[in-house]
């Protein structure tokens, strides 16, 4: 697979779709690529150690060539293991490697990676150095503004400077701190307050660094405004739950005039060959349709349609003929 040139990292990634566990698999990424040809896509977080010790590496690393530009996100804390994972990512054809230092999951943190690593910037720096030395891809990092009581701006700036010196190419900053004890991952996405002011100050003090903002963005207009202060904006749950609300990404963020409307019916029809190939190779319709149902919103009886797709998928009764009928019904209703 051909990759984009690493130097273009400074120019194309104005908007990215956050890595989300159980969400951003290759099927969702294919749906998202029908909505935007330009936004940077991410894999779900891959634990580097798990990748090294599995015989089925394709289960972790495979993606469709249409998904470029695509970044693989690794979690881990062992520089030697990360070095091998980086070499695999480059060989597999990824455009970028992202290092996760933001996940607040207890399971992740108990393995001494994710957000808990922010407490040990020297170790994070060694991990970044190892990733950089073992491949020619851009190496980026996703992190929080702080962890537990270690949430001062001084500590955040020290952390970023340390990681910048290790060679990180871009910083994606979730503008909330992580609370590792007392809040679950879902609560950590909403309860700690957003502190855009801290990330703005970080960018102002480090204008030479590429700093992307993440957290709380729910529409294109707010994203455009944020691009006045930051080098990029990362979108998470909003684009997963309401993908069509972001159908103007290419036009409004990247200035590309798309003549073909991004409607639910058109997207479903364009995915039929991909879905058919997945089913004939032994895949399940639910693998794709669990993401597809989020396209069905804002229309009469949307909930009924979503339930029908879910039930038919789970019962293995959903076939291409039904999806063609669904797309036809949606088109007749103007969606």
Nearest in space to 247 (alpha carbons), one of 39, 64, 68? 39
Question: Which CATH number does the domain 6-252 belong to among 3.30.420.10, 3.30.750.24, 3.30.70.20, 3.20.20.70?
Answer: 3.20.20.70
Token readout for 83 is 């070095």
Which pLDDT does position 12 carry in this prediction?
A: 63
Q: Among 23, 103, 127, 289, which one carries the catalytic annotation?
A: 103
The predicted-structure confidence for 118-163, as pLDDT tens digits, reads as follows 999 999 999 999 999 999 999 999 999 999 999 999 999 999 999 9
Q: Which fold has domain 264-332?
A: 1.20.120
Asked whether 158 and 121 are in contact (CB, 8 A), the reply is yes
Lowest pLDDT segment from 105-109, 198-202, 317-321: 105-109
Q: What is the mean pLDDT of residues 214-240?
A: 97
Strands (E) across 50-167 are located at 70-75, 96-101, 139-144
Q: Does 6-252 match 264-332 in CATH topology?
A: no
pLDDT tens, residue by residue, 73-122: 999 999 999 999 999 999 999 999 999 998 887 766 656 778 899 999 99
Report CA torsion sign: 17, 21, 26, 32: negative
Q: What is the reported pLDDT for 111?
A: 62
Per-residue pLDDT at 110: 58
Q: Report the C-alpha gap between 170 and 9 in whole angstroms.
A: 9
pLDDT surpasses 80 at 2: no
| In the chain, domain spans | 6-252, 264-332
Both structure tokens of 27: 């099927």
Rounded to the nearest 5 percent, the helix, strand and coil shares of the chain are 50, 15, 35
The pLDDT assigned to 299 comes to 87
Measured CA angle at 260 (ends 64, 65), to 5 deg: 10
- Whether residue 316 has pLDDT greater than 90: no
Output the CA torsion 95→89→63→218 (10° steps). -60
Whether the predicted pLDDT of 236 surpasses 80: yes
**Mapping DSSP to helix (H, G, I), strand (E, B) and coil, where does residue 220 land?**
helix
| Radius of gyration over every alpha carbon of the chain, rounded to an integer in angstroms | 20
pLDDT grade for 3, boundaries at 50, 70 and 90: very low
Over residues 183-192, the pLDDT tens digits come to 888 899 999 9
pLDDT above 90 for 323: yes
- Per the annotation, the verdict on 109 as an active-site residue is no
For the segment 167-179, the average pLDDT, to the nearest whole number, is 97
DSSP designation for 44: P
pLDDT at 21 over 90: yes
- In angstroms, the CA 63 to CA 59 distance is 9
Closest alpha carbon to 40 in 19, 61, 62 = 19
Q: What is the mean pLDDT of residues 3-21?
A: 70
The whole-angstrom separation of Cα 279 and Cα 162 is: 48
Whole-number Å distance between alpha carbons of 143 and 23: 19
pTM: 0.93
Does 182 have pLDDT greater than 80?
A: yes
């Amino acid at each position: 697979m051909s990759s984009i040139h690493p130097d273009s990292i400074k120019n194309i990634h104005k908007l990215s779709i956050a890595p989300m566990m159980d969400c951003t698999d290759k099927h969702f990424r294919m749906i998202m690529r029908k909505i935007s040809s330009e936004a940077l896509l991410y894999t779900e977080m891959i634990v580097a150690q798990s990748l090294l010790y599995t015989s089925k590496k394709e289960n972790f690393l495979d993606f469709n060539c249409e998904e470029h530009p695509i970044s693989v996100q690794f979690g881990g804390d062992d520089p030697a293991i990360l070095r091998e994972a980086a070499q695999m990512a480059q060989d597999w054809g990824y455009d970028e490697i992202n290092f996760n230092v933001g996940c607040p999951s207890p399971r992740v943190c108990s393995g001494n990676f994710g957000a808990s690593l922010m407490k040990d910037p020297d170790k994070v720096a060694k991990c970044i150095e190892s990733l950089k030395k073992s491949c020619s891809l851009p190496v980026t990092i996703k992190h929080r503004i702080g962890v537990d009581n270690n949430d001062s701006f001084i500590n955040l700036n020290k952390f970023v400077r340390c990681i910048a010196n290790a060679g990180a190419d871009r910083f994606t900053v979730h503008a909330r701190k992580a609370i590792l004890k007392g809040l679950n991952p879902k609560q950590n996405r909403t309860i700690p307050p957003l502190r855009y002011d801290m990330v703005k100050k970080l960018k102002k003090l480090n204008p030479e660094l590429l700093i992307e903002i993440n957290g709380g963005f729910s529409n294109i207009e707010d994203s455009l405004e944020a691009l006045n202060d930051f080098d990029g904006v990362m979108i998470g749950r909003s684009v997963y739950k309401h993908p069509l609300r972001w159908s103007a990404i290419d036009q409004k963020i990247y200035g590309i005039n798309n003549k073909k409307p991004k409607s639910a019916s058109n997207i479903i029809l364009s995915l039929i060959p991909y879905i058919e190939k997945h089913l004939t190779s032994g895949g399940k319709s639910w693998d794709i349709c669990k993401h597809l149902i989020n396209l069905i919103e804002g229309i009469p009886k949307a909930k009924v349609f979503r339930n029908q797709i879910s039930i038919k998928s789970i019962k293995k009764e959903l076939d291409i003929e039904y999806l063609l009928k669904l797309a036809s019904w949606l088109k007749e209703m103007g969606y």
